[in-house]
Amino acid sequence: MDEKKNTDSCIVKVLLTLVTMMVIDGSPANEWKLVWQDEFNYTGLPDSRKWNYEEGYIRNSELQTYTRDRRNARVEDGVLIIEAHQIDRADANVCASGNRIIQWWCRKTGREKGSFHYTSASLTTQSRFEWTHGRVEVRAKLPQGRGVWPAIWLLGARIEELGWPATGEIDIMEFVGYQPGRIHAALHTESRNHRKGNAATGSVFISDTGMSFHTYAVEWTSDSIDFYLGDQKYFSYQKEGQSPADWPFDDPMYLIINLAIGGGWGGKEGIDHAIFPQKYLIDFVRIYQHSTHR
């Protein structure tokens, strides 16, 4: 992108930010305050004052290693790029061990010797910005193909102390590549979660997840959580009980934006090895709170 186009893009983003601050779903500007944002109007690594990283193998039997490597996460031309790469690790890996338990684990997770290995990135605001209640907006263009599993989600800030799902989880957007026309939202608590098979979930159809940018948003209050695709509210969850097991959502949470490969859901229909590398593009992240919030 040449210098003039880059400058024009920055001007458009500033104007859009001002308009968004004036009206969000019809609400006057004085009801909302922009409290945190990244417009990605710079070049290089993600701003370390705003973003932290997950690293290594984390969850859900996924097949990627999360890294801090520039190849997996960088800012270029006004967008954050999270890029997943496929690497043939047949030369050496832990699955070459003769240990029966390790071999069983490798077969179960698809990491047997000679299988493909992946690198990707997971950016978080953990220890950078954690907050309670508000509106989160993320404008993104999603990767495509069987095996990709990008997400935008919130996790309770006390996760290391209390564990999952006690601190709650709000999945603003999940996409699995073998369902190219479907966006998912979910909430997990001790009372409701996927392990029990009763997580609160919603979904919406969208025809061009990989062709266009869309804004994925959530509005989170003390008694309800509403999920949006652009201006369309497609799922709403109302508080069901007073205990932390029913409603852990009055404590601080932090944001995660990640691109997983495979795993219990993303890899349910296998992985198309021909699709890599895959890019997950994020145009902006904006977090608002009501002006009266304390």
Residues designated catalytic: 169, 174
Give the pair of three-digit tokens for residue 239.
């508080």
The DSSP line for 118-136 is EEE-EEE-TTT--BSSEEE
Radius of gyration of the chain (CA): 19
The closest of 286, 255, 250, 291 to 133, measured between CA atoms, is: 250
Cα 149 from Cα 178, distance rounded (Å): 9
Q: What percent helix, strand, coil does the chain show, rounded to 5?
A: 15, 40, 45
Q: How far apart are CA 42 and CA 34, in angstroms?
A: 20
